[in-house]
Chain A
Amino acid sequence: MNPAVHLDGITKRFPGVVANDDVDLAVERGSVHALLGENGAGKTTLMNVLYGLYRPTEGTVRLDGEPRSFDSPRDAIDAGVGMIHQHFMLVDPMTVWENVVLGNEPTTWGGLRVDREAAREAVVELSERYGFDVDPDATIADISVGEQQRVEILKALYRGAEVLIMDEPTAVLTPQEVEELYGVFEELTEQGKTIIFISHKLGEALSAADDITVLRDGVNVGTVAAADVTREELAELMVGREVLMDPATSPRETGERVLEVTDLCVEDDRGVEAVSDLSFELRGGEILGIAGVDGNGQSQLAEAITGLRETASGEIRYRGESMVGQTRRDRIDRGMAFIPEDRQERGLVMSYDLTENGVLGSQHDPPFARGGRLDWGAAQDHAESVIEQYDVRPPDADAEAESLSGGNQQKFIVGREFERDPELVVAAHPTRGVDIGSTEFLHDRLLELRAEGKAVLLVSSKLDEVQGLSDRLAVIHEGEFTGVVDPATVTEEEIGLLMAGESLDDDSVERAAIHDAGGAPDEVDGGAADDEGVDA
């Protein structure tokens, strides 16, 4: 029997980036298939190909053995492929039944009237068949996130979906709702539906899926049965064995203490504690890597250190001076550089050209500021020198930032920040969405900076990156360090366990700053803030 979904040699190229490289994926009817991988591994791109949002550069999509070509999501829906987005596509003030039938309303009186009774009946019938407990007359704004997700599933089923794609379905759910979702999966597959869900959580894939396909850097690195694989093996597949940098970048003399964080607590936008009692220090000539699943407090930590977010409590000392209550400007003036994770939001003004972007942060300082006005000649010279040194393409200081590819935007930001001659660099996901060549270049720059005796705090969800570059590696889980380890000796499996919130009882592990870590169930890793992670 043919698999329900067969992606045959799918390659998807974007300008400068290969998002999917010759990916094969076969999903059996009535099974739950997890598509596992880190951010930027190409999971979402692959599903967008299946869902008709992207056309594959090469390769064929087969449903039940039949080759299909979708021009739009509409075609995919008609062919029985439904997508449930991470951010629900629901109209909040409308009712459940109105949302389910939206765009396919049953009508009477020659189309002049929506047949409310028929629509409600269809919704009730569907939710009873699959055991959903959803009130068809409830308003979307009044129901829980888990119920909203079930409404999304009902929408797809109402349109005749046989294959359901779910993008990070647990990201917005509470642990209990996650359990309920697994129950829904079971109901659906029992009735012959096929489910593919995207995830970057090992535990989730293991407990919910029948088969797991791991994507890394756009390549299918293996499809395994969930029953036959261990968490360690999965982590290894996900992260890969190879380490980009030669770990023989031997531990060097570290200099004076540049950054000292003591009992730091930081809240996220919703007022929930995102960083809990973190303590660590960072010396000149040292790279401290922070690894963890996205949304475990890394962003808030970086923002607190760089002055973009207020601290709730605790102390941040930079070169002996307390930074709490100091402004962003104060920190820039004292030589703290920041490579933000969202380069388009915080790194660049997209509608400015590179000359203008190049002076951002230095606009008050010589040689750019002269008697209350900007010296655009100096600014242009500066931008051109950054462009040349950091190989930004196209090499045009008058080009608007938005006309550059992601990798080149990133190179320009890194160049601008490094040219400030910083003492401390806080680099958040410096190579996210950047192609391999630029990634290596940026890694070299970070190592050069370290060689000059500067301090680097490197936050990344790419394990090979943090492991290859760091002198020490701290693993963060729910705002706490579950371990600070030596990247040269630690194994990926151990890091994977730490990332999942478990602790290690290994003597080889230096456990410098652990505060009652572990014990948390791995289903909750990531938490609700996961949606910050954007797949390339």
Chain B
Amino acid sequence: MPPPAATGVKPMRNPLSPASLLEGASESGYVRSLIAGTVGMLALLGVSGLAFPDSVAGDLAGIVFSTSTATSTARLAAPIVLAGLGGIFAEKSGVINIGLEGLLIISAFVSVYAASVVGVGNAVLGVPALAIAFLAGIAASTFLSAVFAVVCIEFKADQIIAGLAVWLIALGLAPFLSTVFFGGVNTPNLGVSVGWQYSATMVVFATAGSWWLLNKTAFGKHLRAAGENPKALDTVGVSVSQVRYAGVLLSGVLSGVGGSALALSIGQFVGSGETMVQGKGFIAIVAYLFGNYNPLGTLGAGALFAGLDAIQIRLQQLGYAIPDTLVQTIPYVVVIVVLTLVGRTQIPEAAGEHYETEE
């Protein structure tokens, strides 16, 4: 046998330490520039607004830094960020869930329905109606995501088509059920609404929890392996299917929180047109792509998109004729720019692919 070879070859060292808050170095730089850019823009706006209080900049600064804009941003951001966090879990595991919109719709309706059945102010076994409403919304969304998971993982359906089906089913089913139970596609108003503080709290906790789950737990590692190289996970004896089911079900749970929060913050389900969810599930996908599958980035992107929407609404109220449809295209334009020019979003290698274990 030949002697051990001289160790002349030095391994390439990863120059970046991975232990930072934002696991993965390119990711952290990316999120940092996103945050820095947003803060810089706000600072510029604030300064110019203070300097010229009667200008458009002044109005804009007034809106951006007003409490009402902040609270409506929190309301609008909740479904985007929560569904986006859910989308991260599904896609990291290798299942692209573009049915987030459908999950938001179904949970929005079911939460309002449950609240009206229990009766606002009543309680069942000491659980107040609004809490039951949340739980019901989460259950509905989780159930629908479970159907999606079975279809995609067990029966190996195309994930995109199955995801579209989830959206279309919810888009049809929620207004239909509303018509059956309430006589119209819009439910009557419950007369109560969940305060923005609750939405904000849920978003913060869900973001922090998701970050921990993804980066610090064994489950997070398995999730990532399932989406990047499922065979590697399978050969070390971890079931790829189980990990993927968990990822998709988590997307159902989180979207359920988001959809319920959206409907209950208004106290009504609006089922006309594209329903009250209005594409927030799709913007959620944009948000997590923009945030590069990092919960903190998703929070930032979601807040940014929701903030733009909130500002737009306020500007309309002040008489600026800004077409809302144009503002609503901003997230999509942003994601195209991000994906083509920046190109730093790292889509899991095996996302969208079925996995079958040998023998």
Q: Is the CB of A144 within 8 A of B12?
A: yes
B5 CB contact (under 8 Å) in A92, A135, A147, A180: A180
Check if A255 is an interface residue, CB within 8 A of chain B. Answer: no
B237-249 interface bits toward A, Cβ cutoff 8 Å, 1 = contact, 0 = none: 1100000000000
Q: Is the CB of B232 within 8 A of A90?
A: yes
Q: How far is the CB of B91 from chain A (nearest CB, A)?
A: 14
Q: Is the CB of B1 within 8 A of A137?
A: no
Q: Which of A122-139 contact B (CB under 8 A)?
A: 131, 133-135, 137-139
Take A95-B18, A103-B237 as given contacts and tell me if A90 and B2 are in contact as well, using a CB distance cutoff of 8 Å: no
How far does the alpha carbon of A74 sit from the alpha carbon of B12 in the complex, in Å? 32
Take A104-B236, A183-B3, A207-B1 as given contacts and tell me if A114 and B9 are in contact as well, using a CB distance cutoff of 8 Å: no
Take A91-B228, A111-B218, A185-B1 as given contacts and tell me if A147 and B11 are in contact as well, using a CB distance cutoff of 8 Å: yes
Check if B358 is an interface residue, CB within 8 A of chain A. Answer: yes
B202-244 interface bits toward A, Cβ cutoff 8 Å, 1 = contact, 0 = none: 0000000000100011101110110011011101111000000
B217 CB contact (under 8 Å) in A54, A112, A137: A112
Take A92-B349, A94-B225, A113-B216 as given contacts and tell me if A182 and B235 are in contact as well, using a CB distance cutoff of 8 Å: no
Q: Is the CB of A92 within 8 A of B14?
A: no
A195-212 interface bits toward B, Cβ cutoff 8 Å, 1 = contact, 0 = none: 000000000000110000
Chain B residues whose C-beta falls within 8 Å of the C-beta of A351 in the assembled complex: none
Check if A342 is an interface residue, CB within 8 A of chain B. Answer: no
Q: How large is the interface on B (under 10, 10 to 19, 20 to 34, 35 or more residues)?
A: 35 or more
Chain A interface helix/strand/loop/mixed: mixed
Q: Which of B13-69 contact A (CB under 8 A)?
A: 13-14, 17-19, 24
How far does the alpha carbon of A54 sit from the alpha carbon of B359 in the complex, in Å? 7
How far does the alpha carbon of A276 sit from the alpha carbon of B1 in the complex, in Å? 33
Check if A107 is an interface residue, CB within 8 A of chain B. Answer: yes
Closest chain A residue, CB of each to CB of B225: A91
Q: Is the CB of A137 within 8 A of B17?
A: yes
Q: Which of A143-190 contact B (CB under 8 A)?
A: 143-144, 146-147, 155, 159, 176, 179-180, 182-187
Chain A residues whose C-beta falls within 8 Å of the C-beta of B10 in the assembled complex: 133
Closest chain A residue, CB of each to CB of B14: A138
How far does the alpha carbon of A146 sit from the alpha carbon of B231 in the complex, in Å? 20
Check if B317 is an interface residue, CB within 8 A of chain A. Answer: no
Q: Is the CB of A182 within 8 A of B232?
A: no
Check if A493 is an interface residue, CB within 8 A of chain B. Answer: no
Q: Is the CB of A135 within 8 A of B2?
A: no
Chain B residues whose C-beta falls within 8 Å of the C-beta of A131 in the assembled complex: 4
B14 CB contact (under 8 Å) in A95, A105, A187: A95
Q: How large is the interface on A (under 10, 10 to 19, 20 to 34, 35 or more residues)?
A: 35 or more
How far does the alpha carbon of A137 sit from the alpha carbon of B204 in the complex, in Å? 30
Q: Is the CB of B218 within 8 A of A137?
A: no
Q: Is the CB of B14 within 8 A of A135?
A: yes
How far does the alpha carbon of A429 sit from the alpha carbon of B48 in the complex, in Å? 76
How far does the alpha carbon of A4 sit from the alpha carbon of B16 in the complex, in Å? 43
Chain B residues whose C-beta falls within 8 Å of the C-beta of A112 in the assembled complex: 212, 216-217
Chain A residues whose C-beta falls within 8 Å of the C-beta of B228 in the assembled complex: 91-94
How far does the alpha carbon of A91 sit from the alpha carbon of B232 in the complex, in Å? 7
Q: Which of B99-147 contact A (CB under 8 A)?
A: none
Take A102-B232, A186-B4 as given contacts and tell me if A138 and B12 are in contact as well, using a CB distance cutoff of 8 Å: yes
Q: Is the CB of A103 within 8 A of B238?
A: yes
How far does the alpha carbon of A112 sit from the alpha carbon of B1 in the complex, in Å? 47
Check if B340 is an interface residue, CB within 8 A of chain A. Answer: no
Check if B346 is an interface residue, CB within 8 A of chain A. Answer: yes
Q: Is the CB of B13 within 8 A of A135?
A: yes
Chain B residues whose C-beta falls within 8 Å of the C-beta of A32 in the assembled complex: 1
Check if A80 is an interface residue, CB within 8 A of chain B. Answer: no
How far does the alpha carbon of A32 sit from the alpha carbon of B1 in the complex, in Å? 10
A85-102 interface bits toward B, Cβ cutoff 8 Å, 1 = contact, 0 = none: 100011111110011001
Chain B residues whose C-beta falls within 8 Å of the C-beta of A74 in the assembled complex: 237
Take A94-B224, A113-B217, A131-B4 as given contacts and tell me if A89 and B18 are in contact as well, using a CB distance cutoff of 8 Å: no
How far does the alpha carbon of A85 sit from the alpha carbon of B359 in the complex, in Å? 16
Take A90-B229, A92-B349, A94-B224 as given contacts and tell me if A186 and B1 are in contact as well, using a CB distance cutoff of 8 Å: yes
Closest chain B residue, CB of each to CB of A83: B235
Closest chain B residue, CB of each to CB of A131: B4
Check if B7 is an interface residue, CB within 8 A of chain A. Answer: yes
Q: How far is the CB of A89 from chain B (nearest CB, A)?
A: 4
Q: How far is the CB of B290 from chain A (nearest CB, A)?
A: 19
How far does the alpha carbon of A339 sit from the alpha carbon of B358 in the complex, in Å? 29
Q: How far is the CB of A242 from chain B (nearest CB, A)?
A: 33
Check if A58 is an interface residue, CB within 8 A of chain B. Answer: no
Chain A residues whose C-beta falls within 8 Å of the C-beta of B212 in the assembled complex: 112
A89 CB contact (under 8 Å) in B217, B235, B349: B235
Check if A142 is an interface residue, CB within 8 A of chain B. Answer: yes
Q: Which of B241-293 contact A (CB under 8 A)?
A: none
Q: How far is the CB of B59 from chain A (nearest CB, A)?
A: 46
21 contacts between A and B (CB under 8 A): A89-B229, A89-B235, A94-B221, A95-B18, A99-B232, A105-B221, A107-B218, A111-B217, A133-B10, A135-B13, A135-B14, A137-B18, A143-B11, A180-B4, A180-B9, A182-B2, A182-B5, A183-B3, A185-B1, A207-B1, A208-B1
- Seed contacts A53-B359, A131-B4; 7 additional CB < 8 Å A-B pairs: A89-B236, A103-B233, A114-B220, A135-B13, A146-B9, A179-B2, A183-B3
Q: Interface on A for B, CB 8 Å cutoff? A: 32, 53-54, 72-74, 77, 83, 85, 89-95, 98-99, 102-105, 107, 111-114, 116, 131, 133-135, 137-139, 142-144, 146-147, 155, 159, 176, 179-180, 182-187, 207-208
Q: Interface on B for A, CB 8 Å cutoff? A: 1-5, 7, 9-14, 17-19, 24, 212, 216-218, 220-222, 224-225, 228-229, 231-233, 235-238, 346, 349, 358-359
What are the 7 A-B residue pairs with the smallest beta carbon separation, nearest first? A183-B4, A103-B236, A74-B237, A105-B218, A89-B232, A179-B5, A180-B5
